[in-house]
């Protein structure tokens, strides 16, 4: 039972120290994880492509809602929706990025995205999973991406098999002001 350490004493202390160092560095990594080198994303599909929006910009998901069309707005705005008495605009993300309009009718789900200034319900074709990804996994947008599309995409990242475009929430939420049109 007293077989003793398989290592020489000096070796043992070295091991202990190394382990301690590793533990510390792991702990540190874990801490940093929670800070800023990872981010949570909500995936969604527009047509054939997958996109993602940062979870801290997502307020809620709408599956059952009634669209009220509003005249004299840009075509990517489907109208407004009444969420418990709050009026939100309905943005057709696919139409905004000129990917062709999203599904018709009220059947398509919508993601309510927000920033400090405002919020809109963004209509998508399908809502996917929530994913965690390191921030430095985001690559700049493909150089071939359309200029217009590039305005709404901050970058792209690989999630498993998929190449996902990260949506620029702030440009999606540019307030609509008839005076500017």
Instruction: Using the CB atoms, write b or e for 125-145: b if 16+ within 10 Å.
Output: bebbeebebeeeebeebeeeb
Residue 63 C-beta: closest distance to other proteins, Å: 17
Question: Which range in 45-53, 102-110, 116-124, 139-147 contacts other proteins by CB under 8 A?
Answer: 116-124
CA distance 62 to 17: 53
Q: Does 120 bind other proteins (CB under 8 A)?
A: yes
177 lines the binding site for other proteins (CB under 8 A): yes
Work out whether 8 is an interface residue with other proteins (CB under 8 A): no
> Min. distance of Cβ 178 from other proteins in angstroms?
4
Candidate residues 66, 104, 144, 147; the one interacting with other proteins per rule CB under 8 A: 66
State how far the alpha carbon of 134 is from the alpha carbons of 2, 13, 100, 137, in Å. Answer: 47, 35, 31, 5
Instruction: Give the other-Cβ count within 10 Å of 169's Cβ.
Output: 20
Residue 78 within binding range of other proteins, rule CB under 8 A: no
Q: How far is the CB of 93 from other proteins (least distance, A)?
A: 13
Closest to 84 in 3D by CA, of 64, 56, 113, 104: 64
Q: How many Cβ atoms are within 10 Å of 73's Cβ, its own excluded? A: 16
Binding site for other proteins (CB under 8 A): 66, 68-73, 77, 80-82, 84-89, 91, 117-120, 173, 175-179, 181
């Amino acid at each position: 039972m007293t077989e003793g350490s398989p290592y020489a004493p000096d070796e043992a202390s070295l091991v202990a120290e190394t382990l301690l160092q590793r533990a510390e560095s792991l702990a540190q990594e874990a801490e940093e994880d929670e800070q800023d080198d990872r981010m949570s994303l909500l995936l969604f599909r527009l047509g054939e492509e997958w996109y993602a929006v940062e979870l801290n910009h997502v307020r809620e998901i709408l599956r059952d809602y009634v669209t009220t069309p509003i005249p004299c707005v840009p075509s990517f705005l489907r109208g407004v929706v009444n969420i418990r008495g709050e009026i939100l605009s309905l943005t057709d993300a696919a139409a905004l990025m000129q990917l062709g309009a999203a599904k018709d009718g009220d059947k398509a789900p919508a993601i309510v995205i927000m920033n400090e200034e405002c919020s809109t319900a963004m209509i998508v074709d399908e809502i996917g999973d929530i994913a965690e990804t390191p921030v430095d996994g985001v690559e700049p947008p493909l150089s071939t991406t359309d200029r217009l599309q590039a305005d709404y995409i901050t970058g792209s990242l690989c999630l498993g098999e998929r190449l996902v475009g990260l949506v620029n929430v702030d440009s999606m939420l540019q307030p609509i002001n008839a005076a500017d049109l």
